[in-house]
Structure 1
Amino acid sequence: MRYLYTSLCFFILIGCAKKESDSPAYKNAELSVEERVSDLLGRMTRQEKIAQMYCVWNDKAKFLLDSTGHFDIEKAKKNFPNGLGQVGRPSDTNGGLTPYDNALLTNAIQKYFIEETRLGIPVFYHEEALHGHAAKGATSFPQPIGLAATFNPDLIEQIFAVVGKEARLRGTHQVLAPVVDVARDPRWGRVEETYGEDPYLVGEMGVAAVKGFQGDGTFKSGDKVVSTLKHMAGHGWPEAGSNIAPANVSERVLREVFFYPFAQVVKRAQPGSLMASYNEVDGVPSHGNKWMLRDVLRGEMGFKGYVVSDYYAVRELNDREGLFGNHVAATHNDAAKLTIEAGVNIELPEIDCFRDLDSLVGAGFIQESLIDELVGKMLEYKFRMGLFDNPYVDAEKAKAYVGNAEQRVLARQSAREVITLLKNENNIAPLDLSKIKSIAVVGPNANRVLLGGYSGEPVFFTTVVDGIKEKAGDKIKVTYSEGCKITTTSGWSNDKVEAPTPEDDRKQIKEALAVARTSDVIVLAIGQNEQVSREAWAANHMGDRTDLDLIGRQNELIDAMVSTGKPVIAFVFNGSPLSFNNLINKVPVVFECWYLGQEMGGGVADVLFGEYNPGGKLPITIPRSVGHVPAYYNHKPAARRGYLFDDVSPLFAFGYGLSYTTFELSVPRLSSGSIKMGESLKVAVDVKNTGARKGDEVVQLYIRDKVSSVTRPVKELKDFKRISLAPGETKTVELEITPEKLSFYDINMKYVVEPGEFEVMVGTSSRDQDLKKVVFTVTQ
């Protein structure tokens, strides 16, 4: 009996071992990601590998869904028997899915690829998440140019942790954010998507955003997503401010300005993905630039993720009919070859120039070893995200979390921290609820939903007039008048942009004047809307500007409001800097708001009535006119000599922003007056709140190399810290200068610290009058 039992156990163990050995190694979660990728690649046919380099977006309706927008398994079997790399933006199906339905759809599609294809390779879903998941029901935070005004990386990390979780719960694996382009031309319509003009600030914000999205990079928590850095490189300084135009910069400028944020984010946050830029540098479009994507990005910077193409950019290496072509590739097949050899792993958003990869590889036109390299990296992230082991999401959790009331607290705080006070004559702001009886809320942006580009449809939204009415309650009479229009059309994605007639605008100005005359105070909401400064992605969808003035009859509206003799408080909403000289000259109180997200009205009201003391700072220079462009602060010594009949200084400088209170900074103290090359030093400064209100101040540290082998900027931001102080309170802020912050590309294009004197400038903006200076020496 014992023999029979022992024999039975033996055969059971043999059977279990055989069953275990039949299970492929790549499905064994105990193995390393590298081992699993290697095993899976070894089992894949060429067709299965190439399928991983395909993506569908709009074509998902044709290839994956039925006429009602539900998953169609027969279509999937017909079109993707070998698997599929990515599906773009499932959230936009049928004009926009709820979080619950979004999760159901991603699960249904995933189930096919896991259970019905030969190897069961899961599909990746990518989405836009510039300042919130661009989907129905998601929380919408301020635009990045506004978030940069907070000078608060901790807040940015918190925000994008929420954004990533909202996206992940719906089934998303990868987000096409953040944008770490350095914006050097305010005419460019995509300024709103960036963190401003300074490479250091952009880098710090980019690091924070990626850490928010990816956490510790293990993705084990199940609520993180792969982050995609955009767009490498030079995209933020297009010729003539025209989107995707050439970036006419030297290698030194490219490395020190435009590569810098990418290098920082790659080194410190290890993003899983990166998107190449549409533009060219030195005649080479980025999607075909081996030096940029292989030598610099992967070699020098140490990038370990995968590169995605920008939408339809591979086609543009040849020709994009109706738009333009770079004509560095004779055919779409040649474009595919250039892109793959440059190191782009997948073509977005549709199966286009990569369509014929199977035959091209079979004919030896493209090496299969390149396919293995590029596909292997994308498989790695599918394993790292846990999709082979836990591929589905919980629709009920998505429904409960996404866009709920809890997220409004963070959205409101972010709106408050963005708002930047530019002018406050006679301390008119904040308003005292007990001292006024009526407010006229006037302007084209007073009662308008303003989210900016790449936005979703939040559950909640408060306009300026709604926020003021809610805060005022029954204590104050609040009346509203539009005053004039910026456009008669609306919508960031709407191709059609129409302007109002002068007659219609002037009729509205008269109506607003009548309303304003009966009120104690006028709140003016003006600026831009999403149609007049936006991504210009097609010949019939423009968004770049030839001037920076307020559009339409807004200056006439300003003059009319000022003519009443009543106090006027202006809130400016915009995606890019505006040369609002008339406003600044005539209106006593002006706030720069950018786009504040879904809690716009609440944030404005909190600041207007003094519940929150504004502490934002400008992340980009506001020039006096379009003729002052470029106007960025960290220019070379010979760049701002002066103009005939005009002031060369900006209207408002980078880093500038006032408060309802006042601050006093001590002379900065250095931990050492002299350091050796390779050493660091500390800079300490005492900050005192000398006013009567609690407030935030951003202490900014700038550096200048006094004598160098090549010309250096007059000043460069190298550290900053936002602090909060009670009235009379003093805090000591410690900032750091490291060898990297002193390094630059010398006369021989070596990245070095040169010995000599360095000027340290610490203060509250980049203006000389707001800075206190000390000098230290670097010795060999």
Structure 2
Amino acid sequence: MKFIKVFAVLFIMTATGATAQSQDARKMNQFISGLMKKMTLDEKIGQLNLPSAGDITTGQASSAGIAQKIREGQVGGLFNIKSVEKIRDVQKIAVESSRLKIPLLFGMDVIHGYQTVFPIPLGLSSTWDMTLIERSARIAAIEASADGINWTFSPMVDVSRDPRWGRMSEGSGEDPYIGAQIAKAMVRGYQQSDLSKNNTIMACVKHFALYGAIEAGRDYNTTDMSRLRMYNEYFLPYKAAIDAGVGSVMTSFNEVHGIPASANKWLMTDVLRKQWGFDGFVVTDYTAINEMVDHGLGNLKEVSALSLKAGVDMDMVGEGFLTTLKQSLQEKKITQEQIDIACRRILEAKYKLGLFEDPFRYCDVQRSKTEILTESNRREARNIAAQSFVLLKNQNNVLPLKKSGTIALIGPLADAKENMPGTWSVAADFKQSISVQAGLQNVLGNKAKVLYAKGSNLTADSALEERATMFGKTLNRDKRPADVILKEALAVARKSDVIVAALGESAEMSGESSSRTNIEIPDVQKDLLKALLQTGKPVVLVLFTGRPLALKWEDENVPAILNVWFGGTEAGNAVADVLFGDVNPSGKLTATFPQNVGQVPLFYNHKNTGRPLAQGKWFEKFRSNYLDVSNDPLYPFGFGLSYTTFNYGDIKLDKSSFKPGEKITASISVSNTGSREGQEVVQLYIRDLVGSVTRPVKELKGFQKIHLKAGESRTVQFDITEEDLKFYNSDLNFVAEPGDFKLFIGTNSRDVKEADFRLNR
């Protein structure tokens, strides 16, 4: 009886919630339908136009070139505009001077924080901590919304296995499973459960689709793959964002099956809307419609019509929609219904954000003064940055360093606060960033002496350095001869007890349009590192990078390597926290580090060939291998050391087989066998041994981040169900096939314990 009452209450609550949602939907539809009846064709097309606001400055909104278009109802939203004052001025034009007073959307690339900048997304993913990642997005949303922004072009969830591609820094690495978990966490952080609240912002998942698989790692290049690979390896993070309720989707620059994404009806309508049920709006990337002319799909009028028919709703910057759709309608190349559907989707987004109720809800001057770059936000950023760092090597426990003696801090990234936020930190105030030098001094106080020297420029090629230090992220190139700069550094090194070498990439050496064919540490920096090692002093390499680098020589010769990515506003403090052991590093790689660029693309969840190299073998003729280097990565997916050590027991299964509707539980004992407390990411992988289509050698299916005190042990459990075993077969049906499976649990994708189980029918 009690059960029936509880069930009845739950049913009523669920029904009441569903009724409220349907009433809200009806109210929204009624409002928008009424508004659209009043709109002219030009005003409807105007809602599909998203120009950049680069020509608007404070106090000049009404006279800016774009202002007249807003008055005429030819603009649906703006991006690249920040600050409450500017946004209020522009919104005022829309709601006071345009005929129908329709408010504007205001978007920005809030990628890994707003003014409080968090680690680059590849670094964030290395925390393997969804709570921290969601928290970073939540803070970003609070700060951006406090400054007038209500829409962000994030998260970027493109799976990528090619570190030559600079935009790998913006994503979560090579694995679709962890990418999907991060996609959901980011959407939750930005949007929460109510977009109408003035401290949430609409997310935009990008780039749909397959952008991370571009050929040769060269940005904007061609992509070509089977649908089987799309569904099994690349689609999962996008779909996870859709399932989490993301409000908008951005198209990718690449083609998919020979048709650029922005004109790909199969992708934008069949997959996104019909298969996945997406009900938000689709926006192109920057001038993506115009660029289809160079792809070879026709002139601007033709490609704009193709894009609208494919299911694209908003045109970013190119104004192909604005200038050609009316004529295409007259020529019956498109329909009025297609324009109306796109317009409705944009208006629905504005309604859900509460802009029709209050166009200025994101323009609270008080919030802009009190909720941006706060001390509490900086503390969060410092903590999250420290959790993202990956300890790659620590021979003879060089780290953590003692807070005593004399420390040489050397390298072009040592005193480079402008570079600490990393790429895509468009709202950052670089003056607020903490360099490594400042961080060491903040943590040490007067306990130890820090001597600094630059040691080298970023690279010997001054033109390359200029290309790699754009957007105000200068490294103040030293014009002296390289040997003079090096001699100065060696003099500093000889006076010190230990050397901290801050080397690697500059912030803009990765990111959009920053592809590289050579993914090693730049030439003069490697020369500097070799000279520092020859002093005989212990050397710690603090590595800055936005991608996996080829570090074979460094791994063989440098005693300690700490990969710090680009840690954000508090990067320098966080680096010092880890170097001196106030924080025990716990980051794990989400992208494989190759031995050299010739192995690329290299990823853990590959498939076997018909002639696989035997385990433990380096080379065997007529097997799938190289003549000059082993197949092994330098650092495998999931890898990361700690200042303590963890021991894994054997896997225990509660049963050896199970049927659909049941589960199998795997447990393993993990012990902290060192002298420090620390965090460990326990990783679960599965292999389907026999399938109707070939299956990967391993697939990540679960992970848990645990905290253990020195000497503490804990049993970690994972439940495996039929859902964990499903994949898309050759008919693109999502199925789990009965048969034998292998289960792996360990500290990374390589170092694992194994067990076998079976799925029965």
Structure 1 residue 665 displacement after superposition: 2.0
**Aligned position for 1:297:** 272
**d(CA) in 2 for partners of 1:492, 1:196:** 24
Q: Decide whether aligned partners of structure 1 residues 340 and 752 sit closer, same or farther in structure 2, where only a CA change above 3 A counts.
A: same
Superposed counterparts of 1:558-637, under 5 Å: 558-637=529-608
Candidates 21, 38, 45, aligned match of 2:40: 45
Which residue identity is paired with 1:342? A
Does residue 714 (structure 1) correspond to residue 697 (structure 2)? The answer is: yes
**d(CA) in 2 for partners of 1:346, 1:40:** 19
Higher mean C-alpha displacement, 770-779 vs 670-679: 670-679
**Aligned position for 2:495:** 518
Q: Tell me if the contact between 1:71 and 1:105 (Cα under 8 Å) persists in the aligned partners.
A: no
Q: Tell me if the contact between 2:416 and 2:475 (Cα under 8 Å) persists in the aligned partners.
A: no
**Aligned position for 1:428:** 398
**Aligned position for 2:225:** 249
Q: Tell me if the contact between 2:49 and 2:74 (Cα under 8 Å) persists in the aligned partners.
A: no
Q: Decide whether aligned partners of structure 1 residues 498 and 545 sit closer, same or farther in structure 2, where only a CA change above 3 A counts.
A: farther
Deviations 1:480-528 (A, max 9, x none): 0111111455665459999979982232122111110110000011110
**Aligned position for 1:474:** 446
Q: Tell me if the contact between 2:660 and 2:721 (Cα under 8 Å) persists in the aligned partners.
A: no
Superposed counterparts of 1:48-59, under 5 Å: 48-58=43-53
Structure 1 residue 193 displacement after superposition: 0.5
**Aligned position for 1:444:** 412
Residue aligned with 1:777, SS: strand
Candidates 485, 497, 505, aligned match of 1:508: 485
Deviations 1:467-490 (A, max 9, x none): 112222112111001111114556
Candidates 120, 128, 151, aligned match of 1:151: 128
Identity between Structure 1 and Structure 2 (%): 37
**Aligned position for 2:351:** 383
Candidates 498, 519, 527, aligned match of 1:556: 527
Does residue 779 (structure 1) correspond to residue 753 (structure 2)? The answer is: no
Q: Tell me if the contact between 2:81 and 2:87 (Cα under 8 Å) persists in the aligned partners.
A: yes
Candidates 435, 444, 457, aligned match of 1:485: 457
**d(CA) in 2 for partners of 1:497, 1:230:** 29
**d(CA) in 2 for partners of 1:637, 1:465:** 47
Which residue identity is paired with 2:170? E
Q: Decide whether aligned partners of structure 1 residues 615 and 279 sit closer, same or farther in structure 2, where only a CA change above 3 A counts.
A: same
Q: Tell me if the contact between 2:48 and 2:321 (Cα under 8 Å) persists in the aligned partners.
A: no
Which residue identity is paired with 1:229? V
Residue aligned with 2:282, SS: strand
Which residue identity is paired with 2:206? K
Superposed counterparts of 1:185-334, under 5 Å: 185-216=162-193, 218-267=194-243, 269-318=244-293, 325-328=294-297, 330-334=298-302
Q: Tell me if the contact between 1:336 and 1:354 (Cα under 8 Å) persists in the aligned partners.
A: no
Does residue 727 (structure 1) correspond to residue 704 (structure 2)? The answer is: no
**d(CA) in 2 for partners of 1:42, 1:270:** 28
Instruction: Return the TM-score normalized by structure 2.
Output: 0.90
Deviations 1:252-271 (A, max 9, x none): 1111111111112211x110
Candidates 403, 407, 411, aligned match of 2:381: 411
Deviations 1:289-336 (A, max 9, x none): 100111111111111111000001100111xxxxxx1011x2100011
Higher mean C-alpha displacement, 486-495 vs 253-262: 486-495
**d(CA) in 2 for partners of 1:183, 1:665:** 30
Higher mean C-alpha displacement, 111-120 vs 654-663: 111-120
Q: Tell me if the contact between 1:492 and 1:534 (Cα under 8 Å) persists in the aligned partners.
A: no
Q: Which runs of 5+ in 2 are unaligned?
A: 1-22, 614-623
Deviations 1:395-420 (A, max 9, x none): 12112111122210110011100111
**d(CA) in 1 for partners of 2:522, 2:499:** 20
Q: Tell me if the contact between 2:137 and 2:189 (Cα under 8 Å) persists in the aligned partners.
A: yes
Q: Decide whether aligned partners of structure 1 residues 691 and 448 sit closer, same or farther in structure 2, where only a CA change above 3 A counts.
A: same
Q: Decide whether aligned partners of structure 1 residues 753 and 125 sit closer, same or farther in structure 2, where only a CA change above 3 A counts.
A: same
Q: Which runs of 5+ in 1 are unaligned?
A: 1-27, 92-101, 319-324, 537-542
Q: Tell me if the contact between 2:252 and 2:285 (Cα under 8 Å) persists in the aligned partners.
A: yes
**d(CA) in 1 for partners of 2:71, 2:432:** 39
**Aligned position for 2:619:** none
**Aligned position for 1:98:** none
Residue aligned with 2:501, SS: strand
Residue aligned with 1:356, SS: helix
Q: Decide whether aligned partners of structure 1 residues 367 and 725 sit closer, same or farther in structure 2, where only a CA change above 3 A counts.
A: same
Structure 1 residue 29 displacement after superposition: 8.9
Structure 1 residue 749 displacement after superposition: 3.2
> RMSD of aligned C-alpha atoms?
2.2
Residue aligned with 2:487, SS: helix
**d(CA) in 2 for partners of 1:176, 1:700:** 30
Does residue 547 (structure 1) correspond to residue 518 (structure 2)? The answer is: yes
Deviations 1:708-744 (A, max 9, x none): 1111111011111111111122223232333332111
Residue aligned with 1:71, SS: helix
Candidates 528, 532, 544, aligned match of 2:505: 528
Residue aligned with 2:481, SS: helix
Instruction: Return the TM-score normalized by structure 1.
Output: 0.88
Deviations 1:315-362 (A, max 9, x none): 0111xxxxxx1011x210001111001111000024245322223223
Q: Tell me if the contact between 2:74 and 2:322 (Cα under 8 Å) persists in the aligned partners.
A: no
**d(CA) in 1 for partners of 2:79, 2:672:** 50
**d(CA) in 2 for partners of 1:116, 1:361:** 28
Which residue identity is paired with 1:361? L
Does residue 109 (structure 1) correspond to residue 90 (structure 2)? The answer is: yes
Q: Decide whether aligned partners of structure 1 residues 737 and 349 sit closer, same or farther in structure 2, where only a CA change above 3 A counts.
A: farther
Candidates 735, 739, 749, aligned match of 2:722: 739
Deviations 1:148-182 (A, max 9, x none): 10001110100100101111112212100010000
Q: Decide whether aligned partners of structure 1 residues 81 and 146 sit closer, same or farther in structure 2, where only a CA change above 3 A counts.
A: same
Structure 1 residue 390 displacement after superposition: 1.6
Structure 1 residue 703 displacement after superposition: 0.5
